[in-house]
Amino acid sequence: MIEPEVRRLVSLRTRERRGLRQGGVSAYRSMWLVVLFDLPVGSQAERRAANRYRHLLQDEGFVMKQWSVYVRYFDSRAKAEAAADRLGAQAPPMGLVSMLFLTDKQYGLTRNFEGAAPRPTEKKPEQLALF
């Protein structure tokens, strides 16, 4: 008879191999949406539009990774695509906005550096915010 603790460890290893996270969310199905944008800021109206778009991203739960690069974790592709549709519909008329969809597994391979020193990769939130 297999002891319960051994059974639990075997189950966790099997889940890891299959790309499942704690709580049953697959690392291959959960998504990170990366929004990259290059918006004109030559006039005061353009600066206002660019700032409004940045605030929209923050209101949607995105965090700034770098200037003009924002990321957010979604537990499904459908939710990430719905957010991309909302954000795309509100993009300023001038400039370029691109959105990348990465699985949690792919995003986990990100390597960050500050100068030559490695920095840890962002982790998915422990609890999803409901809006």
CA distance 104 to 74: 9
> DSSP character for 18?
T
* 104 belongs to an annotated ligand binding site: no
Please state, in angstroms and as integers, the Cα–Cα distance from residue 102 to each residue in 42, 84, 122, following that order: 32, 13, 13
Residues annotated within the binding site are 38
Binding residues for Mg(2+): 38
